[in-house]
Amino acid sequence: MVEPANGHERVSGRMERPGHPGTPDEGEPVETQRDGAPTAEQSLRASNLLLHALTEVQTEFIQGHDTHQLFDKLLLVLLKLTHSEYGFIGEVLFTPEGTPFLRTRAVTHVAWTDTLREFYLREVSTGLEFPHLQKLFGAVMVSGRPVLDNAPSPEEFGTRLEDHPPLSSFLGLPFHSPTEMVGMVGLANRPGGFDTGVITFLRPVLATCCAILQGLRNEQRRRRAEDAQRRSAESFRLLIERSPDAIFIHRRGMLLFANSAAVRLLGYTSGEQLRGRELEAFVQSGGEAMLHESPGGNGLLEVRFRHCQGHEVVGEVVTLSLVFDGRPAVVCIARDMTERRQVQQKLRATERMVSLGTLAAGVAHEINNPLSYLLSNLHFVDDELSAMAEAGEPLGSARGGELREALKEALSGSLRVRDIVRDLKTFSRDTEDQRGWVDVRGVLDSCVNIAWSEIRHRARLEKDYGEVPLVEANESRLAQIFLNLLVNAAQAIPHGDVRANEIRVSTHHEGEQVVVAVRDTGAGISEENLRRLFEPFFTTKPVGVGTGLGLSICHGIVTGMGGRITVDSKLGEGTTFRVFLPIKRPAGVSA
């Protein structure tokens, strides 16, 4: 080991080509032992210079100095301490295919030709890349072990640099993290060659290089993670802002954020008009409680919002919890269903009219029968009263008794007409938002009266009403469901054999639900058609009979109430529809 120059002097961070190897700096005495080995004082001074340089580099790295200058300074120290002519400090990287290659962090200024000087100045800032694994430095990367060669052949140190001076010796030293090879130091052309003593002496340098490169990699990973997080946040905000669904974020009822769709939903012009206000200002009475629901509690909820102009806006809402600005909050995603609800209302009204049209002749007949004997009896009473008045007979006579009997029959007929008209009104009236406590048995009786003209010539009607509680629902919508099921049951049975066929209507109480079943002994439904039974516009009836919307609308009404409808059927054995209705209307349902 030769004596280092200038003891503990500060080493410039600018890379320069060193003087001739083995030649001490001007004014520095040469003191060696007789065998050529450095003296103890020389070794101590070399160690002190190395320690001083490493401490200085580590301090500057922590202070955020330019890393190119730090690695240049380290390489210059290595060249001076080892009296090597050329050298580099490189980082081991990998191609997408997993092949390692070397990218320099510091390299000797290759200035022996004008072309190479330009090449060096052009590429040194990003690092020169050396992918040739079959060369000496490649052997270091492949094996992960030091490579020392004091008589390398020209082929063993191939580079991409033309006119590279010949090499007399080479030392390649890898440095590792606990999990991988991080980089290597390469030195060349040391007078007398390299030995294991040089390897031992340079271990602190390897540790410092490894620490700096790992620090740089960690910093790069941190920056990439921050950039990715920033891009993700920007993308997420853009996604929220451009979402067609209204998105509200609130904490304990206080609005923190509303996207553009939410602003439009409520009729405002800016999200600033909403932020900081209480949620209850924008929803109809009771609706704010549904926007506090726990995630997945009730699935989709129907919430009625209050537009700034005063009218109601219907939203289908899902809620979930997340962390917003570092604290728990609730996100409400609302889809404007106002227009769809209006269309559905019109479809339900259309289906009701279709059902009434199908039953019109039978209903007219049901009204005509009691009306005919009502009119007949009233004419009889009028004639008899006139005759009795002319004859002076009292009303207490036998003739008067006949009149009283005729009036009773007329009254009975008028009550029958009144009941039919009442049942028709229950079925046809449009009371979308009126809910109350309803006895399903009374609604079933009304529907049986309306559908009786379809039933009586096809099957016997059996009622099996169990005791059931009232349900919170819309009476008109229930009537639409039950009438549709009764008419379908009747139309599944051909005319003629009333005694052989049956339509059974039953009710029973099951947990928190009331179950209504309509069973017929008709033709049944094939398994293929069962799978599509509740699809809109699907029908098994002949062309011109029905719209294919009846069961689809029934399904929508039942699920909208928070219930469900099922069907069991086999060809030739009849069909059973069951409607499961919650006793108390769940929060957020439409009926």
- DSSP string over 424-486: HHHHH---TT--EEE-HHHHHHHHHHHHHHHHTTT-EEEEEE-----EEE-HHHHHHHHHHHH
Residue 57 falls inside a structural domain: yes
Same structural domain, 446 and 573:
yes
Angle between helices 338-391 and 398-428 (to 10 degrees): 170
Q: Which helix (H) or strand (E) holds 504?
A: strand 502-510
Q: Which are the contacts of 347, defined by CB distance < 8 A and separation ≥ 6?
A: 549, 553
pLDDT score recorded for residue 441 = 94
- Dihedral (C-alpha) 191, 194, 200, 202: value to the nearest 10 degrees? 60
Q: Please, which pLDDT band fits residue 390 given cuts at 50, 70 and 90?
A: low
pLDDT score recorded for residue 359 = 53
Same structural domain, 166 and 272:
no
Cα–Cα distance, 202 to 75 (Å, whole number): 11
- Dihedral (C-alpha) 417, 419, 421, 426: value to the nearest 10 degrees? -170
Residue 356 falls inside a structural domain: no
Q: Which residue, 190, 221, 252, sits at the end of a domain?
A: 221
**Averaged pLDDT score across all residues of the chain:** 77
Residue 194 falls inside a structural domain: yes
Residue 382 falls inside a structural domain: no
pLDDT score recorded for residue 432 = 54
Number of structural domains the chain divides into: 3
Worst-scoring range by mean pLDDT, 82-86, 99-103, 538-542? 538-542
Cα–Cα distance, 87 to 78 (Å, whole number): 8
**Residue located via tokens 């039974």:** 533
Same structural domain, 246 and 190:
no
- Residues 168-178: tens digit of each pLDDT: 899 999 999 88
Q: Which residue, 341, 376, 395, sits at the end of a domain?
A: 341
Higher-scoring residue by pLDDT: 226, 137 = 226
Same structural domain, 151 and 279:
no
Q: What is the largest CA-CA distance in the chain?
A: 171
CA 552-558-562 angle, 5° bins: 140
pLDDT score recorded for residue 2 = 29
Same structural domain, 86 and 161:
yes
Same structural domain, 249 and 145:
no
Q: What is the mean pLDDT of residues 397-425?
A: 68
Highest-confidence segment of 292-306, 384-398, 535-549, 552-566: 552-566
Query: What is the number of helices (H) and of strands (E) in the chain?
Result: 14, 18
Cα–Cα distance, 43 to 74 (Å, whole number): 18
pLDDT score recorded for residue 1 = 29
Query: What is the residue type of 441?
Result: R
Same structural domain, 190 and 324:
no
- Burial class of residue 114 (count of CB atoms within 10 Å of its CB; 0-12, 13-18, 19+): exposed
Residue 108 falls inside a structural domain: yes
pLDDT score recorded for residue 357 = 56
Same structural domain, 135 and 86:
yes
Residue 146 falls inside a structural domain: yes
Same structural domain, 182 and 253:
no
Higher-scoring residue by pLDDT: 297, 575 = 575
How many percent of the chain have pLDDT more than 70? Answer: 71
Residue 282: pLDDT above 80? yes
- Residues 469-480: tens digit of each pLDDT: 999 988 878 888
Residue 514 falls inside a structural domain: yes
Worst-scoring range by mean pLDDT, 105-114, 331-340, 427-436, 567-576? 427-436
Distance of CA 260 to the CA centre of its chain: 19
Q: What is the mean pLDDT of residues 495-512?
A: 90
Same structural domain, 185 and 75:
yes
Q: Please, which pLDDT band fits residue 368 given cuts at 50, 70 and 90?
A: low
CATH code of residue 62: 3.30.450.40
Q: Please, which pLDDT band fits residue 308 given cuts at 50, 70 and 90?
A: confident
Same structural domain, 167 and 249:
no
Boundaries of domain holding 535: 432-586
Same structural domain, 308 and 277:
yes
